[in-house]
Amino acid sequence: MIADVVVAPIAEEHLTDVLPMIHRARLGNNARIMRATRANLAAQLRRAGVPTTNAPDRVLGSDCLLVVHAAARSQLAASIALRHGAHSAWIVTPNGLWRGYDEGVAAAAPSVPVVAPTTDMSLAPAARSPSGEAGHQPE
């Protein structure tokens, strides 16, 4: 596993609510449903590349899991899962740390300022003429 993964226990009846929202957020191609009736959940998670050594009992004892390989959008995926029926959600790091996700804590976290890209053309390379001379502007 090379990026964060969201693991959320969810009841089967909530899948029709959460899956359309996961797809709407453009995370559907990175999502999968794991069912305990199909195979052991710990084994399924390991096959998906999710470290299970520190997995909470609530996850491994679930009947159904929503797993989303979301990388930088893991908080978004966890938030969608919680809003649409998941009992809880964890963000699992590549080194095997399982962090419980709580929307209230995430919403209260200070926001990171976003730096707008610059449009300063003085940093752009000088235009070149068809002959290759720098600094010549076509007329």
From the number of C-beta atoms within 10 Å of its C-beta (0-12, 13-18, 19+), residue 56 rates as middle
DSSP 51-65: --TT--HHHHT-SEE
Burial 85-102 (b: 16+ CB within 10 A, else e): bbebbbbbeeeeebeebe
What does pTM read for this prediction? 0.72
Q: Per the domain annotation, does 132 fall within a domain? A: no
Tell me if 134 is assigned to some domain.
Answer: no
In a domain, 85, yes or no: yes
Condensed to tens digits (0 to 9), the pLDDT of residues 89-134 reads: 999 999 899 999 876 554 444 444 444 555 555 555 555 555 555 5
Q: Are 74 and 5 in contact (CB under 8 A)?
A: yes
Count of domains for the chain? 1
Q: How many CB atoms lie within 10 A of CB 136?
A: 13
Tell whether 138 is covered by a domain: no
Indicate whether 107 belongs to any domain.
no
The reply to whether 79 falls in a domain is: yes
Burial of 54 (0-12, 13-18, 19+ CB in 10 A): exposed
Percent of the chain with pLDDT over 70: 73
Q: What is the pLDDT of residues 18-60, one digit of tens each?
A: 999 999 999 999 999 999 999 999 999 999 999 999 999 999 9
Indicate whether 137 belongs to any domain: no
Q: Which residues contact 28 (CB under 8 A, 6 or more apart)?
A: 19, 22
What are the φ and ψ backbone dihedral angles of 128, each rounded to 5 degrees?
-115, 145
Task: Establish if 135 belongs to a structural domain.
Answer: no
